[in-house]
Amino acid sequence: MDQSPCKACVGAWPADSYRITSLDLTDAYLNEDQFFPGWSVVVLKRHATELFELSREERGQLVEELSTVARAVSVALSAKKINYALLGNQLPHIHWHIIPRLVDDPAPSEAPWAVPHTPRSPSPDERRQRIAVIQRQLG
Amino acid sequence: MDQSPCKACVGAWPADSYRITSLDLTDAYLNEDQFFPGWSVVVLKRHATELFELSREERGQLVEELSTVARAVSVALSAKKINYALLGNQLPHIHWHIIPRLVDDPAPSEAPWAVPHTPRSPSPDERRQRIAVIQRQLG
Protein backbone atom coordinates (compact mmCIF):
# COMPACT_ATOMS: atom_id res chain seq x y z
CA MET A 1 0.00 0.00 0.00
CA ASP A 2 1.20 3.49 -0.69
CA GLN A 3 2.03 6.35 1.62
CA SER A 4 -0.92 8.58 0.78
CA PRO A 5 -3.30 9.25 3.70
CA CYS A 6 -6.10 6.71 4.20
CA LYS A 7 -9.26 8.00 2.48
CA ALA A 8 -11.47 6.54 5.21
CA CYS A 9 -9.39 8.13 7.99
CA VAL A 10 -9.40 11.62 6.47
CA GLY A 11 -13.15 11.51 5.79
CA ALA A 12 -12.76 11.51 2.00
CA TRP A 13 -14.76 8.25 1.68
CA PRO A 14 -17.60 7.37 1.94
CA ALA A 15 -19.52 10.59 1.23
CA ASP A 16 -21.55 11.91 4.17
CA SER A 17 -24.70 12.06 2.04
CA TYR A 18 -24.62 8.23 1.86
CA ARG A 19 -24.57 7.69 5.62
CA ILE A 20 -27.20 5.33 7.05
CA THR A 21 -26.19 5.33 10.70
CA SER A 22 -23.34 5.67 13.16
CA LEU A 23 -22.85 2.75 15.55
CA ASP A 24 -20.35 2.15 18.35
CA LEU A 25 -17.28 1.09 16.33
CA THR A 26 -18.52 1.63 12.79
CA ASP A 27 -20.42 3.90 10.42
CA ALA A 28 -22.77 2.38 7.86
CA TYR A 29 -23.28 3.90 4.42
CA LEU A 30 -25.19 3.09 1.29
CA ASN A 31 -22.63 2.15 -1.36
CA GLU A 32 -22.21 4.66 -4.19
CA ASP A 33 -22.71 1.88 -6.74
CA GLN A 34 -26.28 0.63 -6.40
CA PHE A 35 -26.14 -1.95 -9.21
CA PHE A 36 -27.11 -4.39 -6.46
CA PRO A 37 -29.91 -2.35 -4.80
CA GLY A 38 -29.21 -1.87 -1.10
CA TRP A 39 -25.45 -2.52 -1.38
CA SER A 40 -24.06 -1.00 1.81
CA VAL A 41 -20.69 -0.63 3.52
CA VAL A 42 -19.86 -0.79 7.23
CA VAL A 43 -16.66 1.13 7.93
CA LEU A 44 -14.57 0.78 11.09
CA LYS A 45 -14.06 4.19 12.71
CA ARG A 46 -10.45 3.52 13.69
CA HIS A 47 -7.75 2.46 11.27
CA ALA A 48 -6.96 -1.27 11.04
CA THR A 49 -6.54 -3.54 8.05
CA GLU A 50 -7.03 -7.13 9.27
CA LEU A 51 -9.49 -8.79 11.65
CA PHE A 52 -6.60 -10.23 13.63
CA GLU A 53 -5.25 -6.74 14.42
CA LEU A 54 -8.34 -6.05 16.52
CA SER A 55 -8.91 -7.04 20.13
CA ARG A 56 -11.31 -9.89 20.80
CA GLU A 57 -13.82 -7.36 22.16
CA GLU A 58 -13.57 -5.21 19.04
CA ARG A 59 -14.06 -8.23 16.77
CA GLY A 60 -17.14 -9.28 18.73
CA GLN A 61 -18.64 -5.80 18.57
CA LEU A 62 -17.70 -5.42 14.88
CA VAL A 63 -19.52 -8.61 13.91
CA GLU A 64 -22.57 -7.48 15.95
CA GLU A 65 -22.70 -4.21 14.03
CA LEU A 66 -22.16 -6.03 10.72
CA SER A 67 -25.00 -8.41 11.57
CA THR A 68 -27.32 -5.61 12.70
CA VAL A 69 -26.88 -3.66 9.47
CA ALA A 70 -27.08 -6.83 7.35
CA ARG A 71 -30.40 -7.78 8.92
CA ALA A 72 -31.79 -4.28 8.34
CA VAL A 73 -30.65 -4.30 4.71
CA SER A 74 -32.04 -7.81 4.23
CA VAL A 75 -35.49 -6.93 5.56
CA ALA A 76 -35.62 -3.51 3.88
CA LEU A 77 -34.82 -4.98 0.45
CA SER A 78 -36.55 -8.39 0.94
CA ALA A 79 -33.24 -10.05 0.08
CA LYS A 80 -32.97 -13.76 -0.70
CA LYS A 81 -29.35 -13.83 0.52
CA ILE A 82 -26.80 -11.43 1.92
CA ASN A 83 -23.18 -11.41 0.74
CA TYR A 84 -20.61 -10.13 3.26
CA ALA A 85 -17.06 -9.26 2.26
CA LEU A 86 -14.05 -7.57 3.83
CA LEU A 87 -11.52 -7.14 1.03
CA GLY A 88 -9.45 -3.96 1.32
CA ASN A 89 -7.46 -4.50 -1.85
CA GLN A 90 -8.05 -0.92 -2.96
CA LEU A 91 -8.50 0.68 0.46
CA PRO A 92 -6.81 -1.29 3.25
CA HIS A 93 -9.00 0.11 6.04
CA ILE A 94 -11.51 -2.38 7.48
CA HIS A 95 -14.84 -1.95 5.71
CA TRP A 96 -17.44 -4.63 5.09
CA HIS A 97 -19.49 -4.84 1.94
CA ILE A 98 -23.08 -5.95 2.59
CA ILE A 99 -24.61 -6.92 -0.73
CA PRO A 100 -28.24 -8.05 -0.78
CA ARG A 101 -29.11 -10.48 -3.54
CA LEU A 102 -32.72 -9.99 -4.58
CA VAL A 103 -35.25 -12.22 -6.34
CA ASP A 104 -34.52 -10.51 -9.66
CA ASP A 105 -30.72 -10.70 -9.29
CA PRO A 106 -29.06 -10.83 -12.73
CA ALA A 107 -26.64 -13.64 -11.71
CA PRO A 108 -27.85 -15.17 -8.43
CA SER A 109 -25.22 -17.89 -8.15
CA GLU A 110 -22.25 -15.61 -8.89
CA ALA A 111 -20.16 -13.48 -6.54
CA PRO A 112 -20.94 -9.77 -6.95
CA TRP A 113 -17.49 -9.13 -8.41
CA ALA A 114 -18.04 -11.75 -11.09
CA VAL A 115 -20.94 -9.72 -12.50
CA PRO A 116 -19.48 -7.07 -14.85
CA HIS A 117 -21.54 -3.90 -14.81
CA THR A 118 -21.39 -0.15 -15.13
CA PRO A 119 -21.57 1.37 -11.63
CA ARG A 120 -25.09 2.67 -10.96
CA SER A 121 -25.23 5.92 -9.01
CA PRO A 122 -28.65 6.51 -7.45
CA SER A 123 -30.41 9.82 -8.01
CA PRO A 124 -30.53 12.01 -4.86
CA ASP A 125 -34.17 10.95 -4.32
CA GLU A 126 -33.41 7.27 -4.77
CA ARG A 127 -30.46 7.58 -2.43
CA ARG A 128 -32.50 9.24 0.31
CA GLN A 129 -35.38 6.78 -0.04
CA ARG A 130 -33.12 3.73 0.06
CA ILE A 131 -31.28 5.05 3.11
CA ALA A 132 -34.63 5.75 4.80
CA VAL A 133 -36.02 2.20 4.32
CA ILE A 134 -32.85 0.75 5.82
CA GLN A 135 -32.89 3.24 8.71
CA ARG A 136 -36.50 2.27 9.42
CA GLN A 137 -35.39 -1.33 9.98
CA LEU A 138 -32.64 -0.16 12.32
CA GLY A 139 -35.34 1.38 14.53
CA MET B 1 -32.81 -22.29 -2.73
CA ASP B 2 -33.64 -25.82 -3.79
CA GLN B 3 -34.77 -28.79 -1.73
CA SER B 4 -31.70 -31.01 -2.26
CA PRO B 5 -29.79 -31.83 0.94
CA CYS B 6 -27.12 -29.31 1.97
CA LYS B 7 -23.72 -30.55 0.70
CA ALA B 8 -21.97 -29.18 3.78
CA CYS B 9 -24.43 -30.86 6.16
CA VAL B 10 -24.19 -34.30 4.54
CA GLY B 11 -20.37 -34.17 4.46
CA ALA B 12 -20.15 -34.04 0.65
CA TRP B 13 -18.15 -30.79 0.76
CA PRO B 14 -15.39 -29.92 1.47
CA ALA B 15 -13.38 -33.11 0.97
CA ASP B 16 -11.81 -34.52 4.13
CA SER B 17 -8.37 -34.62 2.51
CA TYR B 18 -8.44 -30.79 2.43
CA ARG B 19 -9.09 -30.36 6.17
CA ILE B 20 -6.70 -28.07 8.06
CA THR B 21 -8.26 -28.19 11.52
CA SER B 22 -11.45 -28.60 13.48
CA LEU B 23 -12.31 -25.77 15.87
CA ASP B 24 -15.20 -25.24 18.26
CA LEU B 25 -17.94 -24.12 15.85
CA THR B 26 -16.18 -24.55 12.52
CA ASP B 27 -13.92 -26.73 10.40
CA ALA B 28 -11.21 -25.13 8.29
CA TYR B 29 -10.16 -26.54 4.91
CA LEU B 30 -7.80 -25.63 2.15
CA ASN B 31 -9.92 -24.59 -0.85
CA GLU B 32 -9.90 -27.01 -3.79
CA ASP B 33 -9.03 -24.14 -6.14
CA GLN B 34 -5.54 -22.91 -5.20
CA PHE B 35 -5.26 -20.26 -7.92
CA PHE B 36 -4.73 -17.91 -4.96
CA PRO B 37 -2.22 -19.99 -2.96
CA GLY B 38 -3.48 -20.60 0.56
CA TRP B 39 -7.16 -19.94 -0.27
CA SER B 40 -9.02 -21.56 2.62
CA VAL B 41 -12.61 -21.97 3.77
CA VAL B 42 -13.99 -21.93 7.32
CA VAL B 43 -17.25 -23.88 7.45
CA LEU B 44 -19.81 -23.62 10.27
CA LYS B 45 -20.56 -27.08 11.67
CA ARG B 46 -24.29 -26.43 12.10
CA HIS B 47 -26.57 -25.28 9.33
CA ALA B 48 -27.33 -21.57 9.11
CA THR B 49 -27.30 -19.18 6.18
CA GLU B 50 -27.01 -15.65 7.59
CA LEU B 51 -24.95 -14.07 10.36
CA PHE B 52 -28.11 -12.69 11.93
CA GLU B 53 -29.56 -16.20 12.40
CA LEU B 54 -26.81 -16.96 14.91
CA SER B 55 -26.82 -16.10 18.59
CA ARG B 56 -24.56 -13.28 19.72
CA GLU B 57 -22.28 -15.87 21.36
CA GLU B 58 -22.04 -17.90 18.17
CA ARG B 59 -21.21 -14.81 16.10
CA GLY B 60 -18.48 -13.83 18.55
CA GLN B 61 -16.97 -17.30 18.50
CA LEU B 62 -17.32 -17.56 14.71
CA VAL B 63 -15.38 -14.35 14.15
CA GLU B 64 -12.68 -15.55 16.59
CA GLU B 65 -12.25 -18.75 14.60
CA LEU B 66 -12.28 -16.83 11.31
CA SER B 67 -9.62 -14.48 12.66
CA THR B 68 -7.48 -17.32 14.03
CA VAL B 69 -7.41 -19.16 10.71
CA ALA B 70 -6.90 -15.93 8.76
CA ARG B 71 -3.86 -15.03 10.85
CA ALA B 72 -2.39 -18.52 10.37
CA VAL B 73 -2.95 -18.37 6.60
CA SER B 74 -1.51 -14.85 6.47
CA VAL B 75 1.69 -15.79 8.29
CA ALA B 76 2.07 -19.16 6.52
CA LEU B 77 1.81 -17.57 3.06
CA SER B 78 3.44 -14.18 3.93
CA ALA B 79 0.30 -12.48 2.63
CA LYS B 80 0.13 -8.76 1.93
CA LYS B 81 -3.63 -8.70 2.59
CA ILE B 82 -6.34 -11.15 3.51
CA ASN B 83 -9.74 -11.12 1.79
CA TYR B 84 -12.67 -12.46 3.83
CA ALA B 85 -16.03 -13.31 2.27
CA LEU B 86 -19.23 -15.04 3.29
CA LEU B 87 -21.31 -15.38 0.14
CA GLY B 88 -23.40 -18.56 0.01
CA ASN B 89 -24.86 -17.90 -3.43
CA GLN B 90 -24.09 -21.45 -4.55
CA LEU B 91 -24.17 -23.18 -1.16
CA PRO B 92 -26.27 -21.28 1.40
CA HIS B 93 -24.54 -22.78 4.45
CA ILE B 94 -22.29 -20.34 6.34
CA HIS B 95 -18.71 -20.72 5.08
CA TRP B 96 -16.07 -18.03 4.97
CA HIS B 97 -13.55 -17.71 2.19
CA ILE B 98 -10.12 -16.64 3.41
CA ILE B 99 -8.09 -15.57 0.41
CA PRO B 100 -4.51 -14.43 0.94
CA ARG B 101 -3.23 -11.93 -1.58
CA LEU B 102 0.50 -12.39 -2.05
CA VAL B 103 3.27 -10.11 -3.31
CA ASP B 104 3.08 -11.69 -6.78
CA ASP B 105 -0.74 -11.50 -6.98
CA PRO B 106 -1.86 -11.25 -10.62
CA ALA B 107 -4.40 -8.47 -9.89
CA PRO B 108 -3.71 -7.07 -6.42
CA SER B 109 -6.36 -4.35 -6.46
CA GLU B 110 -9.18 -6.58 -7.72
CA ALA B 111 -11.60 -8.79 -5.80
CA PRO B 112 -10.76 -12.50 -6.20
CA TRP B 113 -13.95 -13.08 -8.21
CA ALA B 114 -12.99 -10.36 -10.67
CA VAL B 115 -9.91 -12.34 -11.70
CA PRO B 116 -10.98 -14.90 -14.34
CA HIS B 117 -8.95 -18.08 -14.09
CA THR B 118 -9.06 -21.82 -14.56
CA PRO B 119 -9.40 -23.46 -11.12
CA ARG B 120 -6.03 -24.80 -9.98
CA SER B 121 -6.16 -28.11 -8.11
CA PRO B 122 -3.02 -28.76 -6.09
CA SER B 123 -1.17 -32.06 -6.48
CA PRO B 124 -1.54 -34.34 -3.42
CA ASP B 125 1.97 -33.32 -2.30
CA GLU B 126 1.27 -29.62 -2.73
CA ARG B 127 -2.02 -30.00 -0.88
CA ARG B 128 -0.41 -31.77 2.09
CA GLN B 129 2.49 -29.30 2.26
CA ARG B 130 0.23 -26.26 2.11
CA ILE B 131 -2.05 -27.66 4.80
CA ALA B 132 0.99 -28.43 6.96
CA VAL B 133 2.42 -24.89 6.81
CA ILE B 134 -0.94 -23.46 7.86
CA GLN B 135 -1.33 -26.06 10.63
CA ARG B 136 2.12 -25.12 11.93
CA GLN B 137 0.92 -21.53 12.43
CA LEU B 138 -2.15 -22.76 14.28
CA GLY B 139 0.18 -24.38 16.82
Summarised one tens digit per residue, pLDDT across range A50-75 is 999 999 999 999 999 999 999 999 99
b/e sequence B107-124, b meaning 16+ C-beta within 10 Å = eeeebbbeeeeeeeebee
Shortest distance between the Cα of A42 and any Cα of chain B, in A, equals 14
ipTM rounded to 2 decimals: 0.96
d(CA B133, CA A37): 41
- pLDDT tens for B6-26 read 999 999 999 999 999 999 999
Give residue A88's Cα distance to chain centre. Answer: 12
Beta carbons of B124 and A124 less than 8 angstroms apart: no
Nearest to B71 among A49, A52, A62 (CB): A52
Whole-number pLDDT of residue B9 = 98
β pairing state of A81-86 and B19-22: unpaired
Q: Tally the C-alpha atoms within 13 A of residue A134's C-alpha that lie toward its C-beta.
A: 30
CA–CA gap between residue B24 and residue A127 (Å, rounded): 42
**pLDDT for B2:** 55
**Interface probe, candidates B55, B57, B69, B86, chain A, greatest A C-beta count within 10 A:** B86
The pLDDT of residue B3: 63
φ and ψ at residue B15, rounded to 5 degrees: -70, 140
Q: Do B83 and A87 touch (CB under 8 A)?
A: yes
Does the pTM exceed 0.90?
yes
For residues A104 and B114, give the distance between their C-alpha atoms in angstroms, rounded to a whole number: 22
d(CA A16, CA B119) in angstroms, rounded, equals 40
Sheet of strand B40-44: strand arrangement? A19-22, A26-30, A40-44, A95-101, A81-86, B81-86, B95-101, B40-44, B26-30, B19-22
